[in-house]
Structure 1
Amino acid sequence: MNLKLKYLIFYLFAFSFTRVMAQVPVKSLDYYLKQAEFTSPVLKDFQNQQRSAGIDSLIVRATGGAQVTASSAGMYAPTFRDYGYDKVLTNGQALEALLNVNYDLLNRKRINNQLEGVKIQSDSIKYARQLSLYDLQRSVADQYILAYASQEQVGFNREVVTLLEQEETLLKKLTRSNIYKQSEYLTFLVTLQQQQLVLKQAELQFKNDYATLNYLAGISDTTQVKLADPKLQTEISTTAQGFFNKRFDLDSLKNINQKNAVGFNYKPKLGVYANGGYNSSFALQPYKNLGASIGFTFSVPIYDGHQKRMQYNKLSLSSETIAGYRNFFIRQQQQQLNLIRQQLSQTDALFPKINEQIRFSKGLIEVDSKLMRTGDLKVADFVIAINNYLAAQNLLRQTSINRLKLINQFNYWNR
């Protein structure tokens, strides 16, 4: 096979490989976040609960209007040889069929308070749904970062193996030329084989991390993809610490609503009613017993053993509990944010030192590679230089991943 044919085969192979790699779709963190939100049954559950709260509001409004009912009752008390119920009391038989209309005249404020309670419930469901979404996004983002780190690890290990394979080919020739001893070549070969195993392990780790990412996002597609750089940045929220505090605001509003409900239970109640229909004992001219009636009901509580005061005391204790949890959470949230800021600052300070170490390690490998071609370097020294470079690169990737995780945590708590 001549030299031109070899170059032709090489370029065809390279072109085919590049084309296959170009066909691998690239998916971003935003894609997985949207998929997770779309497929989550928990978020759909909260959405249905909000719709149900809207129906509850309509039900409360309906109870505030006039209530119309139809009722019917019949009775027959037979007697045998003067034995039976006293007809003065029972009239012997009776039949009624009535249409009743009832309306509470003093119910408007109570209905408005119930509507306010439904609104608070709806807002609580909305808050719970948003909190669940934030938790889901944080979990998916963390897993995406892990999968992306595994993907980068695979790429780096593949580059290292390629480099070592090239050096192994050269070293084999130098060994055959007696420039290097057979023991030195075997030492280098062991290093190459170790890195090949590391590459296989990295590929398995990436498959596992990627499968877990799809699981969290509710994706069943196992097509090979390339994960884009997350590129997370710290988000400066204009309503910092506002979202998490909202749950305490909702608890306080719920407490006030319950207190108002207790007060309305001790207000006077006034209602009117009307009915019409047929009501007869069949004792006298039953065909004339069609009629109607109107009336009112009025009640006012006087004494129930001071239950109202007891319920108010319970609600006051509940308010103190809410205030205690609020103050504790605010302190904890601030401490959490300060700790993450400190860790981010310390992490950012590591990058210049790590990059400098990588630059020196890479430069040493290039120098050692040239020296090895002339036989002026021990193979063990070259292996040490490679291991130092691997350690520096791994430290850089781990630090970068830790930084992304810290940013993800910061953005979660800084809401």
Structure 2
Amino acid sequence: MTTKISPQIQPLLRFCEVCFALLIITLGQVLAQRDLGSYISHAQQNSPLINDNNNLAEANLAEVDRLKAFYTKPQIAVTATYLFAPVISTNEGTTRFEPNSNGAANYIGYDLGASNGGQYIAQLSLTQPLFNKSRARIAGEQFQVNAQINRNLAAISGHDIEKLITDQFILCQQDLQQIRYVDQMGQLLLRQKAIVAKLVEPGIYKRSDLSLLNIEYTSTQSLLATYRASYRRDLMDLNILSGINDTTLIDLVPADLQLNAAPAHSLFLAKYDLDSASLASSQTVFELKYKPQLNLFASAGLNAIYAPTIPQRLGASAGLSLVYPLFDGHQKVFTRKKTQILLGSVSFNRQNFINQNSVRKAKFLSELASYNERENLASEQLAEYNTLLNTYKKEILTGQLSIVIYLTTLKNMATAQRDLALLTAQKQVLINAYNYWNW
């Protein structure tokens, strides 16, 4: 059984179908686009170098906890020893086997003064370092600095990736812009071909004029195919750099980079600060061995050398041990001198980076000022070409314009469009470079 649709409802249904189709197309376009931020995010998440440095930072923090336990927590151990040293006694002219001698005078076997005739030890021992909290803190600071160095290296790696991905993204944008320009030129040629084809029959234009348009249109389509191939290649490279497993040809959300404000503290300079802190903490840790070390030790259990007396040899002991180095050939003085030399090298490199980076950023800003001026001139020139082509449209309709002149103007406009696309891309690359160093 089929249901008949009222004629009044049919237009409404067709309207709904069109709206639904447009919605599907729009959603497909949105889903098939990616912006610069998503590429950078994927690349940083998939970076082995960032992952390694983050893991090393966590490992260094775990080492801080281990050192705290090593310097401040008691160490408890079980010690067990069984030494079997039998002798053959020859006292009083008799020979007998004694597995645990009680003081034979004449015998064959290990010297009882060295072996005690045997040994039976089963003890629980405890060693507790005393007054070691500052030692644990100093030893842990070195690994905390190492963790900060790894975090900083991860941040710098992420920043390097951001610049690399952005440069590749700009290259893809340049390809897309050139595709749009060439495609617009092809559409314009198609329209002019249709007009000239109608004007050939009444003799206003010659067939050779139409052939010129056909040749130019074919050339435009060839150029369009070249730019599309370049875009596909550059887009696949972008996916490779970002670690995205996708070969779909998609559109990109345009990115318009702007100059970033100067940061309160440069993370590039943080590298030198952390290097200095690492050298200082290494020196402090080295000098820990010159501090006195006091330990409490205790043990309880069995310690016997004669098996029959084992039940009477259960006991306990406790004591203190002190280690205080007095002289080692002035090693502390030499290591301090070495550390000061290395700190001077880090300070020199830091200042050298500041000087170079200041000049580098000034150079980028100067080049950007030149690009802004050239970009404005190119945009004005392109606007004039558009105005001229609109005028030419009217003259073509009346047969007053040479097709050769029209094609020459169109080619010059295409060159201007290409130059503008290159200028825009190069300007974005310069902004990206400035933002990279202004960090």
Q: How many angstroms apart in 2 are the aligned matches of 1:15 and 1:53?
A: 59
C-alpha deviations, 1:273-324, integer Å up to 9, x for none? 1111101001662210111111222222223222222222221121111011
Aligned to 1:155: 180
C-alpha deviation, 1:249, in angstroms? 0.7
Aligned to 1:263: 287
Which residue of 241, 246, 256 corresponds with 1:221? Answer: 246
Matched, 1:70 2:78: yes
* Matching residue's letter, 1:219: I
Aligned to 1:287: 311
C-alpha deviation, 1:185, in angstroms? 3.3
Q: How many residues in Structure 1 have an aligned counterpart in Structure 2?
A: 401
Distance 1:17 1:200, change over 3 A: farther
Aligned to 2:124: 99
SS at match of 1:179: coil
Distance 1:357 1:409, change over 3 A: same
Answer whether contact 1:24 1:224 (CA < 8 A) is retained.
Answer: no
* Matching residue's letter, 1:31: S
C-alpha deviation, 1:15, in angstroms? 9.8
Query: What TM-score comes out, normalization by structure 1 length?
Result: 0.90
Q: How many angstroms apart in 1 are the aligned matches of 2:279 and 2:42?
A: 37
Q: How many angstroms apart in 2 are the aligned matches of 1:302 and 1:224?
A: 74
Q: How does 1:380-395 map to 2 (within 5 A)?
A: 380-395=404-419
* Matching residue's letter, 2:435: N
Which residue of 18, 23, 28 corresponds with 2:35? Answer: 28
Which residue of 356, 359, 363 corresponds with 1:335? Answer: 359
Aligned to 1:366: 390
Distance 1:202 1:232, change over 3 A: same
Answer whether contact 1:100 1:274 (CA < 8 A) is retained.
Answer: yes
C-alpha deviation, 1:362, in angstroms? 1.7
Q: How does 1:175-186 map to 2 (within 5 A)?
A: 175-186=200-211
C-alpha deviation, 1:388, in angstroms? 1.1
C-alpha deviation, 1:93, in angstroms? 0.8
Answer whether contact 1:75 1:94 (CA < 8 A) is retained.
Answer: yes
Structure 2 gap segments, 5+ residues each: 1-17, 91-106
Aligned to 1:61: 68
SS at match of 1:285: helix
Aligned to 1:171: 196
Q: How many angstroms apart in 1 are the aligned matches of 2:21 and 2:167?
A: 32
* Matching residue's letter, 1:327: Q
* Matching residue's letter, 2:311: Y
Aligned to 2:51: 44
Q: How does 1:203-282 map to 2 (within 5 A)?
A: 203-239=228-264, 242-282=266-306
Query: What TM-score comes out, normalization by structure 2 length?
Result: 0.85
Matched, 1:377 2:385: no
Answer whether contact 1:369 1:382 (CA < 8 A) is retained.
Answer: no
Give the structure with higher Rg (CA). 2
